[in-house]
Amino acid sequence: MTRRTDHLKLGAFLANSGHHIAAWRHPLAQADASLDFEHFKAIAETAERGKFDALFVADVVALWGHHHDALSRSARAEHFEPLTLMSALAAVTRHIGLIATATTSYNEPYHIARKFASLDHLSGGRAAWNLVTSVVSDEAWNFGRENHIDHGDRYQRAEEFHDVVKGLWDSWDDDAFVRDKSSGQYFDPGKLHTLNHHGEHFSVRGPLNVARPPQGHPVLVQAGASEAGKTLAARVAELIFVVHHDLAGAQAFYQDIKARAADFGRNPDHLKILPGVTPFIAETREQAQALFEEFQALIDPVLGLRLLADTLGDDIDLSAYDLDGPLPETPVGQRGSRRDKVLELARKENLSIRQLYLRLAGGNPLIGTPADIADSFEAWFQSRACDGFNVFFPYYPGAIEGFVDQVIPLLQERGLFRREYEGRTLRENLGLPRPANRFSRS
Ligand SMILES: Cc1cc2nc3c(=O)[nH]c(=O)nc-3n(C[C@H](O)[C@H](O)[C@H](O)COP(=O)(O)O)c2cc1C
């Protein structure tokens, strides 16, 4: 396999006290970080010092869980609305991309097109939209529904939702706003395009009341892992988030998605795949392992069990079963790729209920010295298992500071990562082309 000469792309997952579910309890983490803007600002500054491509913030449009006993043992009950947080961070950063999550299941396309176009202008071309169809079914209860929209229907809606949003972003030619004081013409009406969309889910006339975004349109991010999710990602995504547990699986996914993108007539290089990874780093491997275990030991069993039940299907009660025994017969739950993966993992490795929830809660840990982490990144990148990583820092701020001070220089020395940002926009830094306006004549 020829050695790659392009650079790794790196995202930092902004997660309150840290990505580890028990992070808020650990002495290295800040327990009251969730709504502390100074905390997020400091992380953003560190990420930018490390030349990260982007910050990423996830979202659930509900209290993240309705089992309050379990929820009360986590820091998940409060979090900023992503576009609001990213707008504030846009003002205190200069280079780093800002990836905010918004669901297509409980939103309207006009709102989303407008908000992300605004963030792109506010940030000088650094906005990205993580398009999700909502994994947490509780969201339905906040939007006039008794049940979550069915998985297949969610993706059908998402396909059309995306097309409408993208159409709205093309409402104006790039040079539509002439603002000619002498003629009195503010914009050229010939460069304004009305979408007039009438589809199965949406009727949207347009145009958008925001000029074409600096990036043409914000970078599109997607993380679907089901067939429908992968199809949508291959058609529209420019960045893909995914979680893998082994190199071979990651390589197969990479090849599959890039081939699907080519089938859609796209250049596969214009779609970057970033698996999530949780680095636990210390001077020695033993210390790193001990650090990981400190975090795992802080997971309350009530919370761990709930996490597992949520993944397997909302209504499953596992409390009657022996924690150190196997899972009961295949439980019935909402169809979804995450659930299937977890069931497969339990079967393959013969895990007890406790081992399974610890595995789930532990995320995707990468445990070792800074050189181990750099070796692993290099191996995955060079063997075409990924184009970079979405780093799930287990605790903040120490984990990202350590990574920037100790791992980034190794990646740079090996020619795997930038020393300076290549451009001004997220697109330029990711090596993605600026899309043409579909309506433009010029
Ligand atoms: C890194 C990462 C971040 C995600 N962030 C969110 C999120 O913020 N909100 C959400 O509802 N789903 C989120 N998801 C879930 C995906 O959008 C998707 O629903 C999930 O991967 C399952 O795929 P499927 O729906 O195609 O089965 C995320 C997934 C990954 C891998």
Please tell me the residue having the least CA distance from ligand 1 atom 10: 134
Indicate if the alpha-carbon torsion angle 352, 358, 360, 364 is positive or negative: negative
Q: Select the CATH number that applies to the domain covering 9-169+197-291+364-430 from these four: 3.40.1710.10, 3.20.20.30, 3.90.850.10, 3.40.50.720.
A: 3.20.20.30
Name the 3-class secondary structure at 31: coil
For residue 62, the tally of other CB atoms under 10 A from its CB is 17
Residues of the chain with pLDDT under 70: 314-315, 330-337, 441-442
Provide the pLDDT for residue 334: 57
% helix, strand, coil for the chain, step of 5: 40, 15, 45
Beta carbon of 132 within 6 Å of any ligand 1 atom: yes
CA of 101 to the centre of ligand 1 (A): 10
Beta carbon of 223 within 6 Å of any ligand 1 atom: yes
Provide the pLDDT for residue 328: 81
| Domain extents in the chain | 9-169+197-291+364-430, 300-361
Backbone angles phi, psi at 322, to 5 degrees: -70, 125
H helix or E strand, kind and range, residue 164: helix 151-169
Among residues 301, 145, 121, 130, the alpha carbon closest in space to that of 211 is found at: 121
Beta carbon of 336 within 6 Å of any ligand 1 atom: yes
Report how far residue 26's alpha carbon sits from residue 32's, in angstroms, rounded to the nearest whole number: 12
Core vs surface per residue 34-53: b (16+ CB within 10 A) or e: beeeebbebbbebbbebbbb
Provide the pLDDT for residue 333: 57
Beta carbon of 242 within 6 Å of any ligand 1 atom: yes
Please tell me the residue having the least CA distance from ligand 1 atom 25: 224
Beta carbon of 310 within 6 Å of any ligand 1 atom: no
Kindly report whether the peptide bond that precedes residue 189 is cis, defined as omega within 30 degrees of 0: no
Beta carbon of 302 within 6 Å of any ligand 1 atom: no
255: which 2 tokens? 């090849």
Please tell me the residue having the least CA distance from ligand 1 atom 8: 58
Provide the pLDDT for residue 344: 86
Among residues 376, 400, 369, 395, the alpha carbon closest in space to that of 286 is found at: 369
Report how far residue 266's alpha carbon sits from residue 190's, in angstroms, rounded to the nearest whole number: 30
